[in-house]
Amino acid sequence: MKLKIGEIAKRSGTPASTIRYYVQEGLLPKPQKANEKMAYYDEACIDRLQIIQELKEKRYFPLYLIKNILRRMDEGLSLPEAETVENAVFGAADRIGCGLIDRPAFLAATGLTEKELKHAEILGILIPFTNGLDKTLYNEDDVRVGRDGLKKIAAIGMDLKELSFWVEFGKKIVDREMALRRKIVADKSTRENILITAELTRIGDFYREYILRRLFQKRVEQNIQRSLVKKIKSAAKV
């Protein structure tokens, strides 16, 4: 059934201006125009608007992630299946009930100055959780990086540019991971593609942390061993 925007707004509890905005941003299908002043929306938009509000107000998803979920639902997935990927890739499940914070709140929570934050974002060593269709928002990981990383690094006088290698090599790692994913999901169905992507994301999250931590630990152990050997040799000569 085709409905006027006023009826869609009334039945969904969503202002007409918001409905038009969602259409503009691709979250809702474009209405069928009867003339320049009259357009009709599919009744299914009501259910879609309820999903958008659920994800936005109770799950704290930004609009660009909601758009991803709706796109997957259009491809035949259920809402829980579509959310699976967002939870795996973007850690959405960890944010339920926590919400996101805007730039002023982020600065207050971390103690960073506007200048320090801009510098870190330009270098790519702090990447806001989202700066898509909505305003820039930060999550708990961003706050920890700002408060426990960047602020302390600045306090000891280290130039943030010295950390740019993390971004440089991080991009190479992500490129290789994406290439591997494309190879694995080749010729898979959309549903299989999504489920495999979610699983690969969880595996990647684990291995990135594990490998880097182990490599660092082993390098420290080697340095300690070399130092001990030097001390032993030095003592033997005395």
Q: Does 200 reside within a domain?
A: yes
Per-residue pLDDT averaged across 68-96, rounded?
74
- Here the CATH number for the domain that contains residue 59 is 1.10.1660.10
pLDDT score at 179: 94
Domain-terminating residue out of 78, 108, 127: 78
- Please give the residue range of the domain that contains residue 234: 164-238
Check pLDDT > 90 for residue 108: yes
Domain-terminating residue out of 78, 106, 136: 78
Task: Tell me the β-bridge partners of 39.
Answer: 33
Higher pLDDT, 198 or 203: 203
- Name which of 78, 84, 76 is nearest 59 in CA terms: 84
Percent of the chain with pLDDT over 90: 47
Residues near 185 by Cβ (< 8 Å), separated by ≥ 6? 192, 193, 196, 197
Out of 73-77, 159-163, 182-186, 202-206, least confident range: 73-77
Q: Does 110 reside within a domain?
A: no
Check pLDDT > 80 for residue 60: no
Domain-terminating residue out of 78, 93, 118: 78
- pTM for the model stands at 0.64
pLDDT band for position 96 (cuts 50, 70, 90) = very low
Q: Does 130 reside within a domain?
A: no
**Number of compact structural domains in the chain:** 2
Q: Does 208 reside within a domain?
A: yes
Q: Does 148 reside within a domain?
A: no
How far from 52 is each of 42, 74, 181, CA to CA, in Å?
16, 14, 29
How far from 50 is each of 7, 19, 55, 108, 197, CA to CA, in Å?
14, 12, 9, 33, 27
